[in-house]
Amino acid sequence: MATLSIKGVRKSFGAVEVLNNIDIEVEDGGFLVLLGPSGCGKSTLLAIIAGLEPSSGGDILIGDKNVNDVHPKDRNIAMVFQSYALYPTMPVRRNIGFGLEMRKVDAKEREAAVQRAAELLQIEHLLDRKPGQLSGGQRQRVAMGRAIVRNPDLFLFDEPLSNLDAKLRVEMRTEIKRLHDRLGTTTVYVTHDQVEALTLGTKVAVMKGGVIQQLADPETIYDRPANMFVAGFIGSPTMNFLTGMLEHGDGGLVLRHAAGSLALVGLEQDVAAFVGREVVAGIRPETLNAGQGAAGLQGIVDVVEPTGPDTMVIVSVGGQLLTARLGPKVRPKPGDTLNLSVDTAAINLFDPVTGNRI
């Protein structure tokens, strides 16, 4: 096990800058998730950590050792690929043991290690099959077996669950978390799925255009997003954005929007400089509740989407559409007028010009 330090890493392909000055520290046993849309540079960063791609500048340190010029095979890392990358010509047993075989580990010891890994992942019965005879979930387990068998300093996962169906994805996500809790190996995990990021990571780096937008623990990322990109990318349904003027009202600050005003009770941010200017209020759907409260909004119901445990209600507030996550029993009809109370302490205000959190 080891720490991982990424210091000022850059990568460009010709004139195209795909990674711009990336700085990340991961503690020993930490779980870093690189999260972002396609093309944000997260997989490239992972390939640089693995040594499969050279960086254009900056340093990668595993433990105290600078590994910039170290061959992938000598970095003592293990990687699980999106396509699993199982060697099709070898049976599962040899796939898992290949890393040990390359390191000239004695056959008996190798066999024992493969057996241990297989037991941990419950794939002992598959050891003599070829990858082509396995299902997606089984391949996924074999790929993980290949990673854990060597006790590496660092695990790298490149969107490992994206080829699985929804149910299996949830199962394997739990499995990965359990494995990490058990082995405590420092992990870097690339995904575009925010649920994976929030459930697995001890630290999440949200990336866009080769730049880290926010690096924080999942709770902070969700509750206090650094900018509107992060706010909009994390959460499903996504955060509502309500534009209005920030003004002094009777009991404190209010957000004056097209259909009235919203008292900003218990706001944590220091927004004094923005009074009298336009701001964007980020409101999570679950902080909206049916009924009137200390602070509220009134709107016309546009669409009602029952999902089982929740009912998503899309409401038009002065022409701006907001989604509210309401209880399963709440069933307003389109066209109804709906009062929503707002947990204003959970609101984040953003600067509409820069998109950053004020």
Q: Which residues bind other proteins (CB under 8 A)?
A: 47, 50-52, 71-73, 75, 77-79, 81-83, 85, 87-89, 98-99, 102-103, 146
Q: Whole-number minimum distance, CB 91 to other proteins, in Å?
A: 13
Residues 239, 281: Cα–Cα separation, whole Å: 10
Residues 357, 282: Cα–Cα separation, whole Å: 9
Q: Do 301 and 336 meet the contact criterion of CB atoms below 8 Å apart?
A: yes
For residues 102 and 294, which CB has a smaller minimum distance to other proteins in the complex?
Answer: 102
- Cis bond before residue 237 (omega within 30° of 0): yes
Q: Do 268 and 358 meet the contact criterion of CB atoms below 8 Å apart?
A: no
For residues 97 and 225, which CB has a smaller minimum distance to other proteins in the complex?
Answer: 97
For residues 83 and 133, which CB has a smaller minimum distance to other proteins in the complex?
Answer: 83
Q: Whole-number minimum distance, CB 99 to other proteins, in Å?
A: 4
Q: Whole-number minimum distance, CB 114 to other proteins, in Å?
A: 13
Burial bucket for residue 79 (CB in 10 Å: 0-12, 13-18, 19+): buried
Q: Whole-number minimum distance, CB 51 to other proteins, in Å?
A: 8
b/e string for 7-27 if b means 16 or more Cβ within 10 A?
A: eebbbeeeeebbbbebebebe
For residues 99 and 201, which CB has a smaller minimum distance to other proteins in the complex?
Answer: 99
Residues 45, 23: Cα–Cα separation, whole Å: 11
For residues 87 and 256, which CB has a smaller minimum distance to other proteins in the complex?
Answer: 87
C-alpha distances out from residue 18 to 13, 43, 56, 152, 203, Å:
7, 10, 10, 28, 22
For residues 76 and 289, which CB has a smaller minimum distance to other proteins in the complex?
Answer: 76
Who's near 170: CB < 8 A, 6+ residues apart?
Answer: none
For residues 101 and 219, which CB has a smaller minimum distance to other proteins in the complex?
Answer: 101
Q: Whole-number minimum distance, CB 293 to other proteins, in Å?
A: 53
Q: Whole-number minimum distance, CB 85 to other proteins, in Å?
A: 4
C-alpha distances out from residue 164 to 18, 60, 135, 138, 196, Å:
28, 31, 10, 10, 13
Joined tokens for residue 30: 């930490």
> HEC string of 199-224?
HHCCEEEEEECCEEEEEECHHHHHHC
Q: Whole-number minimum distance, CB 31 to other proteins, in Å?
A: 19
Q: Do 356 and 227 meet the contact criterion of CB atoms below 8 Å apart?
A: yes
Instruction: State the Cα angle at 222 between 216 and 228, rounded to 5°.
Output: 95
Q: Whole-number minimum distance, CB 146 to other proteins, in Å?
A: 7
Secondary structure letter of residue 237 according to DSSP = T
For residues 159 and 175, which CB has a smaller minimum distance to other proteins in the complex?
Answer: 159
For residues 128 and 219, which CB has a smaller minimum distance to other proteins in the complex?
Answer: 128
Q: Whole-number minimum distance, CB 194 to other proteins, in Å?
A: 25
